[in-house]
């Protein structure tokens, strides 16, 4: 009989460990998924600016910045406006976006750095 009791106790401990691992995965996922969606949205914004440049050539850096600002407004991401930099290099426009987000892993806070560059020619 005592052996059966130990098995039930072992099963309870195993279940608690599995639930703790699942809870940790959900905790990290709830932080990472919005960052993933934000990163995908930034990709879409850059793709849309490239598409706009392909259909109607953007003539100067202010036109490129205006196209970016418009996409940020549409996607309700105006808080990233200062993270987009537009420079001109030999007639091409280079758009660089850099930003950081924090991911809390309980045992440490990891700084996630995102950087993307697109060249309009």
- Domain assignment of residue 23, yes or no: no
What's the pLDDT at 10?
73
| Residues 6+ positions from 71 with CB-CB distance below 8 Å | 45, 48, 49
Residue range of the domain that includes 89: 35-120
Q: Name residue 95's beta-bridge partners.
A: 86, 118
| Residues 6+ positions from 96 with CB-CB distance below 8 Å | 84, 85, 87, 115, 116, 117
What's the pLDDT at 1?
46
Number of domains present in the structure of the chain: 1
Low-confidence stretches of the chain (pLDDT beneath 70): 1-9
- Domain assignment of residue 82, yes or no: yes
Spatial contact of 83 and 99, defined as CB atoms under 8 Å apart: yes
- Domain assignment of residue 20, yes or no: no
User: 0.95 cut: is pTM over it?
Assistant: no
Spatial contact of 115 and 98, defined as CB atoms under 8 Å apart: yes
What's the pLDDT at 8?
58
What's the pLDDT at 116?
96
């Amino acid at each position: 009989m005592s052996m059966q009791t130990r098995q039930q106790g072992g099963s309870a401990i195993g279940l608690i460990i599995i639930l703790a691992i699942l809870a940790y995965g959900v905790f990290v996922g709830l932080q990472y998924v919005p960052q993933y969606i934000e990163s995908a949205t930034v990709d879409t914004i850059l793709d849309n600016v490239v598409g706009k440049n392909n259909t109607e050539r953007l003539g100067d850096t202010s036109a490129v910045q205006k196209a970016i600002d418009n996409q940020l407004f549409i996607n309700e991401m105006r808080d990233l406006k200062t993270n987009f930099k537009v420079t001109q290099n030999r007639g091409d426009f280079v758009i660089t976006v850099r930003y950081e987000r924090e991911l809390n892993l309980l045992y440490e806070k990891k700084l996630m750095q995102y950087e993307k560059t697109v060249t309009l020619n």
